[in-house]
Structure 1
Amino acid sequence: MKGLRPLPPGWMWVPFDDVVSIESNLVDPRDFPDAPHIAPNHIESKTGRLLPYVTVAADKVTSPKHRFRSGQILYSKIRPYLAKAVLADFEGLCSADMYPLSTWLESGFLLRWLLSDEFTARVSLEQGRTVLPKVNQTALGKINVPVPPRNEQRRIVAKLEALLARSRRAKGALDVVPSLLEQFRQSVLAAAFRGDLTRDWREKNPDVEPASKFLERIRTERRHRWEEAELKRMQAKGKVPKDEQWKTKYEAPAQIDDSGLQALPSGWAWASIEEVCPLDAPVVYGIILPGDDVQGGVPYIRPVDMNSDGTIDFTSMKRTSSSIAAQYQRASLRGGDIVLSIVGTIGKVIVVPDELDGGNITQSSARLRPPEWLSGEYLRLALLSSTLRSQYDKFRFGNAVQRLNIEHVRRLAIPIAPAEEMKFIVTRATAALARAEQVQIVEQRQQFDKFEQSILAKAFRGELVSQDPTDEPASALIDRIRAQREMAEQQQMPARSKRRRETTVA
């Protein structure tokens, strides 16, 4: 046939209408309240798998639906590019947006043809409308089907079912991998901040300075920096302190209540996020009302821009005016800062890239600036760990929208190890997590999808199973099908018309 690719010997191209009956059997759903109801959304795209469904009554169906029989194929005529078709092994009602199909071919063979990329490409060319693409019955009936001999159809179906079953089992096993990987990541982080990951390091390095002494020195230095800054501020106003009373204005970071926190290894200590962050870059939230999106304005990060893998979605990022950003200069970003989401999805963490230096955040996030003595990666990993996540759960509030307030964030407790051990924790944890990141689940799922379509393509080129020269050719099968259809149509004619025709012939 013109415009169609060559087929193996014994095969032939046949119009859809010649081998398939597209049946319309609309009924009132109120007469079938307990019947299964199948709609396009109950069929998985490109797999032929039926998803969970309910009865007509449970679905509150009111408009007319097609009644289908066991053994028919249900094909969705809307959005044909989604390739939704399933072989029903029960009776029920289906959406009027579907075609119940009966075929003189092997049902499994036709089903796989309907799910193939080749058929989908052909039917997509015939779809009408742009808002909701749909293929009508006439257009569908003209699409050609590659028909092999009957016995070869059966061999093809058997081979496809075996190969696809193996593929689906492998894909099913792959589906559980993301949750297993997340469990692995959390176990790595939990071990890191319990001290399990570096237990051997501590045994080899028993004489390091404990974190408690280190933190005490940091706290003392923090107070000294405040006193220096406060004295300069007073002197700039022409004030000369007469005594030490002014030093009592210093507000030390809130003390941590460690009664509900995990036990830490010897040499470790708890510190609040507030005292970890520099005095001149406190923990803050950002812009409350950023206004309209301003082209060329100051970019700001929202939780929706923060991906779960720690990356930023720049495509959706908004910009505010420089005047509004100036009002929230306190939350201005610098490369290396850490942003923690505190409204909605609590606990997303990203490291600010250098290209967002000078950007800002919204009130739905908190900015944390790692000090010189603490690795930003250590802080990031801690914020992602169950050690901190359990504290998010403790402090979160709200019904429809969960949130942490900024004081909660400042009071979060982070385990601090000796300085050298913290470096080793980062090295070991990132190496372990990198192994998990190397497992590309999405790409592997796509490879399975490509594999399934490749074997369908081979099947409909006649390359999946061997041809048997003793098989009856498809042409004989098609002749027989056409004869059977013609006879069935004659039998369905009204008796009166039939009698009139017989009288005329006589």
Structure 2
Amino acid sequence: MSDELTELPEGWGWISLEVVADAIDPQPSHRRPPECLQGVPYIGIGDINDDETINFNRTRKVSLDVLKEHQERYILKKGDFIFGKIGTLGKPFKLPEPFDYTLSANVILLQSKRKLLTEDWLFYFMKSPFIEAHILKDSSATSQAAFGIKKIRLTPIAIAPINEQKRIVAKIEELNDRTQRAKEALETIPQLCDRFRQSVLAAAFRGDLTADWREQNPDVEWKELTLGDVIKNKPRNGYSPKPVDYPTKVKSLTLTATTSGSFKPEHFKYIDEDIEPTSHLWLTPGDILIQRSNTLDYVGTSAIYNGNLREFIYPDLMMKIQVIEEKVKIELIHYLLSSQATKEYFKKNATGTAGNMPKINQQVVMNTPVFIPCIEEQKQIVSLIQQCFTAIDCIQQQHQKAEEQLNQLNQSILAKAFRGELVPQDPDDEPASVLLERIRAEREKINNGKQKSQRTSKRKSKTVEEQEV
């Protein structure tokens, strides 16, 4: 099946998936049913969150008639799982109760035959890197990647002795519990980093960070001003013409380019219009971009433009300001705009009707309170904030690396499990060959029963025809 699993542990064997599980196509017609806003969720792999829950707020809804039609073909049971067959391939997901939803045409429903396998053996094997490699090798690619139901049914499944299956599944679940606890602990780190950043900014604009510096420079004072007092001109909105899907001379930033609080040059669209070289729309290094419209948590988000001169224009949902550098450091204003106090000011003064994103206008931005020390103290504040933020960035990089390693760890656990390296083997276990022989015998019995039933049906049919004659 894969170069990674060419040799099975002693006592194991191979068998086709169709022997140990029912692979069901939820919607054989492959036609997407019409949407029904008050209907039932229509679940596909794309509706699964990273934490392996269903995002019911995002799912498409279909009518109850579609659910009833599906229930004529299959009944969901505990332990059933789906497997992506079109677009997103694989990604097995165990279906949660209650089963008040139906399944997308882009997935296959897999129902393990529990008399033949330990519960969840098939689920974990289908999540393993060996299946990922198998799909990558055998999937077809046209406009979308696909792995049809026939291929799924013929997928080779590694079978261990029943008792060994139980030990392996138990060990996988024990280790999964540990990795889940580690993941939950890691998930708190970004929020802690954000809180630390805000604590640093609050301390900076209370004057706490530079208290020692002021003791050595007692004659300095802070001034209470507004943003309008320290910028060259009034804030100006950008421009958002219709984008095109081919390269042009003009690149227009999208809102995502500044949502993180830093400038991200990869987020732009091309526009097919001539923009005068002298237009205010062209960005200059050191410009500060402010999001004048976004969700309440992001309205007012700022970023310093550090790209090339006249490489980008900015959209209508942003304003641009340029600070008077003789009065104030660019970085200081950006940090002040990023502080919790300023964020709360923007939230309080944002306007918008129901269903629309909140907006802040030019006057609100101009009236933003700013507390400004002398230039020398500003330099000290900016330097200290940057030192703290560099330490926080380092923590977040380590956090991201830890998350990636944790995801790799889950795959490593499954790889070791199905190479027979996760738990010790017991020589007293009944070998898989005996189980496989029992499976074949049971399957043969079922097939013989079907053939007998068909012959009986034919004889009855013939008798009826003779009587009619």
TM range (shorter): 0.7 to 0.9
Deviation at 1:161, TM superposition (A): 0.5
Taking the aligned partners of 2:340 and 2:26, their CA distance within structure 1 comes to 57
Pairs within 5 Å for 1:183-202: 183-202=195-214
Taking the aligned partners of 2:200 and 2:265, their CA distance within structure 1 comes to 26
- Does the CA contact (< 8 Å) of 1:286 and 1:362 recur in 2? yes
Structure 2 counterpart of 1:340, which letter? I
Q: Does residue 392 of structure 1 match 2:346? A: yes
Deviation at 1:96, TM superposition (A): 6.2
Partner of 1:239: none
Partner of 2:82: 75
Structure 2 counterpart of 1:274, which letter? G
Deviation at 1:375, TM superposition (A): 1.7
Partner of 1:349: 302
Pairs within 5 Å for 1:257-272: 268-272=222-226
Relative to structure 1, the CA distance from residue 149 to residue 389 in structure 2 (aligned partners, 3 Å threshold; closer, same or farther) is same
Correspondent of 2:389 among 433, 443, 460: 433
| 1:97-150 deviations in Å (ceiling 9; x for gaps) | 332412311122111011122213323544456445443332112111111221
Partner of 1:84: 92
Taking the aligned partners of 1:2 and 1:166, their CA distance within structure 2 comes to 29
Relative to structure 1, the CA distance from residue 370 to residue 354 in structure 2 (aligned partners, 3 Å threshold; closer, same or farther) is farther
Deviation at 1:154, TM superposition (A): 1.2
Local SS of the residue matching 2:418: helix
Structure 2 counterpart of 1:10, which letter? G
Taking the aligned partners of 2:97 and 2:170, their CA distance within structure 1 comes to 18
| 1:147-194 deviations in Å (ceiling 9; x for gaps) | 122121111111111111111111122223222322222222122212
Structure 2 counterpart of 1:284, which letter? P
- Does the CA contact (< 8 Å) of 1:156 and 1:464 recur in 2? yes
Correspondent of 1:176 among 168, 184, 188: 188
Local SS of the residue matching 1:313: coil
Local SS of the residue matching 2:264: coil
Q: Which runs of 5+ in 1 are unaligned?
A: 27-35, 211-267, 502-506
Correspondent of 1:311 among 238, 263, 267: 263
Local SS of the residue matching 1:451: helix
Correspondent of 1:156 among 168, 176, 179: 168
Structure 2 counterpart of 1:51, which letter? I
Partner of 1:248: none
Relative to structure 1, the CA distance from residue 45 to residue 481 in structure 2 (aligned partners, 3 Å threshold; closer, same or farther) is farther
Local SS of the residue matching 1:182: helix
Relative to structure 1, the CA distance from residue 135 to residue 462 in structure 2 (aligned partners, 3 Å threshold; closer, same or farther) is same
Taking the aligned partners of 2:50 and 2:449, their CA distance within structure 1 comes to 38
Relative to structure 1, the CA distance from residue 154 to residue 386 in structure 2 (aligned partners, 3 Å threshold; closer, same or farther) is same
Taking the aligned partners of 2:436 and 2:102, their CA distance within structure 1 comes to 29
Taking the aligned partners of 2:313 and 2:331, their CA distance within structure 1 comes to 21
Partner of 2:103: 95
Deviation at 1:423, TM superposition (A): 2.3
Local SS of the residue matching 1:355: coil
Q: Does residue 144 of structure 1 match 2:156? A: yes
Q: Which runs of 5+ in 2 are unaligned?
A: 28-39, 460-469
TM-score using structure 2 length: 0.79
Local SS of the residue matching 2:421: coil
Structure 2 counterpart of 1:137, which letter? I
| 1:351-394 deviations in Å (ceiling 9; x for gaps) | 22252357543443222234134222111101111222222223
| 1:446-476 deviations in Å (ceiling 9; x for gaps) | 2211110111111111121222222221111
Relative to structure 1, the CA distance from residue 22 to residue 493 in structure 2 (aligned partners, 3 Å threshold; closer, same or farther) is farther
| 1:40-88 deviations in Å (ceiling 9; x for gaps) | 35974798x453669xxx9643222143353442223433524133166
Structure 2 counterpart of 1:405, which letter? N
Relative to structure 1, the CA distance from residue 417 to residue 91 in structure 2 (aligned partners, 3 Å threshold; closer, same or farther) is closer
Taking the aligned partners of 1:275 and 1:50, their CA distance within structure 2 comes to 50
Relative to structure 1, the CA distance from residue 463 to residue 270 in structure 2 (aligned partners, 3 Å threshold; closer, same or farther) is same
- Does the CA contact (< 8 Å) of 2:79 and 2:95 recur in 1? yes
Partner of 1:112: 124
Deviation at 1:91, TM superposition (A): 6.6
Local SS of the residue matching 1:7: coil
Partner of 1:51: 54
Pairs within 5 Å for 1:270-309: 270-277=224-231, 281-288=232-239, 297-309=249-261
- Does the CA contact (< 8 Å) of 1:67 and 1:93 recur in 2? no
- Does the CA contact (< 8 Å) of 2:227 and 2:365 recur in 1? yes
Partner of 2:425: 467
Q: Does residue 377 of structure 1 match 2:331? A: yes
Local SS of the residue matching 2:203: helix
Taking the aligned partners of 2:145 and 2:315, their CA distance within structure 1 comes to 40
Taking the aligned partners of 2:15 and 2:307, their CA distance within structure 1 comes to 62
Partner of 2:463: none
Partner of 1:10: 11
Partner of 1:409: 365
How many residue pairs get matched? 429
CA RMSD of aligned residues (A): 3.7
- Does the CA contact (< 8 Å) of 2:238 and 2:320 recur in 1? no
| 1:297-346 deviations in Å (ceiling 9; x for gaps) | 354544343241402233525467555443x24x5533222222223352
Relative to structure 1, the CA distance from residue 207 to residue 23 in structure 2 (aligned partners, 3 Å threshold; closer, same or farther) is closer
- Does the CA contact (< 8 Å) of 2:258 and 2:301 recur in 1? yes
Partner of 2:65: 62
Local SS of the residue matching 1:353: coil
- Does the CA contact (< 8 Å) of 1:23 and 1:102 recur in 2? no
Which is richer in helix?
A: 1
- Does the CA contact (< 8 Å) of 2:287 and 2:321 recur in 1? yes
- Does the CA contact (< 8 Å) of 2:262 and 2:303 recur in 1? yes
Q: Does residue 497 of structure 1 match 2:447? A: no
Local SS of the residue matching 1:196: coil
